[in-house]
Structure 1
Amino acid sequence: MTGAFTVPVEGATLAGERSGKGLPLVLLHGMAGERQDWNRLLATLPADMTTLRYDLRGFGQSPSDDREYSHTDDLLALFDAQAIERAPLLGLSMGGGVALNFALSHPERVSRLVLISPAIVGWEWSDEWKALWRSVSRAARDGDMALARERWWQHPMFELARQSEAADELRHAIDAYHGRQWIRDPQRDELPDVDRLHTLAMPLLLLTGEHDVADIRLIADVIEAAAPDVRRIDYAGAGHMLHLERAAGVAAEITSLTR
């Protein structure tokens, strides 16, 4: 089963693509992103590695309505529709939070977990983080999407990515984002995943950047301390977007883990 696909779920249609034969590495992108954000990393992975990437609900080519939803429920529906019994998961930032939530909720479906600069469901964000988010959201709600995109582009998370050779890719992705989640995102409220990290049932590779923002660094510290089987690699001189900033190194670690 290869090529482009769609999966209908309640209130949305998930669009994605699958390459190779066998069980895939399933990739989940970050906030304001889409499945094409993985292009640089996928180009660095072995050509024969089976992968599946998709646009999370409301992003890219996965349209949705305004009903309440769960990214984890969507991912479960995708696994079932694609006949995936059990597979490794790779999640970036927001997608890392989704991947972790899915692994905690459906451990029998996840063989290994790779998190890059992850968020976490139910996290209490710092006042600084909330202020940055409000500045983006306020511009979007006022109808100035160009300003919202510019403020997101200038977010401290992307400081080192803006200075990297992948800066144009990041800028293009942000400019292509429609911004609906900055205005309203009807995700279902969940209990904090921090309280059940100790139950994580599969090996976890945790990839972080030395110069990532404080909230994401703290989330990684908590995951490392609480989860039972964690190997953390903290990239010196790197920031949040490791799949862009350190694609070759990240690809090598993923390959060694999933082969």
Structure 2
Amino acid sequence: MTISYDVAGDGPALLLLHAGVCDRRMWDPQWEALVAAGFRVVRCDLRGFGQSPLPTEPYSNSGDVLGLLDSLGIDRFFLAGCSYGGKVALEVAASSPERVEALILLSAALPWREPSAELRAVGEREDALVEAGDLAGAAQLMVDRWLGPDADDKAGRAVHEMQLRAYELQLAEGVVGPVKVQVDPAAVTMPCLAVSGAHDVADFRHTEADLPAARNVELPWAAHLASMERPDEVTELIVGFLREQTRA
């Protein structure tokens, strides 16, 4: 398989897509609980993260994800994505809505939204550190900006490690990133839980205008990576929404 993944459990399929400062390890706090809740849980490293190197030819994240699910014999599935993984989840949901039972977005990057000046400034600071060869400093910038005050040191170390691994893969010679995919928000009509953090930048805080079919929940304590800041609370939110959908 092109991308690395884990799969465990029985029951309805649930795919987890990670944030752009993380890899599939970000779901460690949720993994066992979601399996115990009665789901067949799949998590993967998108290309350029974790154990999935970038290629030298163009590729599609949504194509990779659907190809992985096809290889596992999964036709319909629940889908959860955080940040960059939320963007990929929206690409999958819009391109194959008949396969997605329901969608969970955690501080998702909305493909149709132009980045704010605040978000661009963070990216510029990161780029400057990377260009100067200070990858540890760039990774620490990501930890400081995207984890909220409730995150513990273990979460900070995990994000730092995952981000350094992403730099290693993404700075390799001759590699390319994914093709840009146009997403029509009107195609995202399945049940959707859109979670955002009150301490996050506006780019990742959703409103009814973004996805009219979504149930929007803003966590007053959270920044960008709520599932790593208060893992148990977010796990309960995810499981509660999924159980609502499986009872429907």
* Interval of TM-score (by shorter of Structure 1 and Structure 2): 0.7 to 0.9
**Structure 2: gaps of 5 or more residues:** 244-248
Cα distance in 2 between the residues matched to 1:159 and 1:118: 16
Aligned to 1:45: 34
Aligned to 1:197: 185
Alignment match, 2:48: 58
CA contact (8 A) 2:150 2:230 kept: no
**CA distance in structure 1 between the aligned counterparts of 2:112 and 2:169, rounded to whole angstroms:** 21
Q: Distance in 1 between matches of 2:27 and 2:20?
A: 13
Evaluate the alpha carbon distance shift between residue 51 and residue 211 of structure 1 in structure 2; reply closer, same or farther with a 3 A threshold.
same
Count of residues paired in the alignment: 240
SS at match of 1:160: coil
1:127-167 CA distances to partner (integer Å, 9 max, x unpaired)? 22112112212332343322322322232x22435567633
Number of the residue aligned with 1:15: 4
Task: Report the Cα distance in structure 2 between the residues aligned to 1:94 and 1:160, rounded to whole angstroms.
Answer: 21
User: CA, structure 1 residues 53+179, in 2 after alignment: closer, same or farther (shift >3 Å)?
Assistant: same
Letter of the 1:248 partner, please give it: D
Q: What is the match of residue 236 of structure 1?
A: 220
Tell me, in whole angstroms, the C-alpha distance in 2 between the residues paired with 1:243 and 1:161.
11
Contact in 1 for aligned 2:104/2:194 (Cα 8 Å): yes
> Which stretch of the first structure deviates more once superposed, 169-178 or 99-108?
169-178
Q: Equivalent residue for 2:162?
A: 173
CA gap of 1:30–1:161, structure 2 versus 1, over 3 A, is: farther
Hey, what does 1:67 align to over in structure 2?
A: 57
Q: State the TM-score, normalizing by the size of structure 2.
A: 0.86
Cα distance in 2 for residues equivalent to 1:250 and 1:67: 37
Cα distance between partner residues in 2 of 1:30 and 1:100: 13
Deviation of 1:181 after TM superposition, in Å, equals 3.7
Alpha carbons 2:105, 2:193 under 8 Å: kept: yes
Which stretches of structure 1, 4 residues or more, deviate above 4 A after TM superposition? 161-165, 182-185
User: 2:246 aligns to what?
Assistant: none
d(CA) in 2 for partners of 1:249, 1:144: 35
Aligned-pair CA distance for 1:118: 0.4
- Is the 1:41–1:244 contact (alpha carbons within 8 Å) kept by the matching residues of 2? no
TM-aligned CA distance change 1:40 to 1:215, over 3 Å: same
Residue 167 of structure 2 aligns to a residue whose secondary structure is: coil
Give RMSD over aligned pairs: 2.3
Separation in structure 1 between the aligned mates of residue 59 and residue 231 of structure 2, nearest angstrom: 32
Distance 1:160 1:136 in 2: 21
Matched-pair contact (CA < 8 Å) for 1:96–1:118: yes
What residue is the counterpart of 1:26 in the other structure?
Answer: 15
Indicate yes or no: 2:102 matched with 1:108: no
Separation in 2, partners of 1:182, 1:92? 23
Structure 2 vs 1, CA of residues 239 and 257 (structure 1 numbering), >3 Å: closer, same or farther? Answer: same
Matched residue, 1:137: 127
Q: Give the conservation status (yes or no) of the 8 Å contact 1:86–1:110.
A: yes
**Corresponding residue for residue 151 of structure 1:** 141
Alignment match, 1:10: none
Separation (CA, whole Å) in 1 of partners of 2:177 and 2:233? 36
Answer yes or no: is 1:214 the counterpart of 2:202.
yes
Report matched runs for 1:69-84 at 5 Å. Answer: 69-84=59-74
Normalising by structure 1, we get a TM-score of 0.83
Q: Please, which runs of 5 or more residues in structure 1 have no aligned partner?
A: 1-6, 8-12
Residue aligned with 1:14, SS: coil
Could you tell me which amino acid in structure 2 is paired with residue 74 of structure 1? D
Relative to structure 1, the CA distance from residue 128 to residue 210 in structure 2 (aligned partners, 3 Å threshold; closer, same or farther) is closer
Q: Is the 8 A contact 1:97 1:118 kept in 2?
A: yes
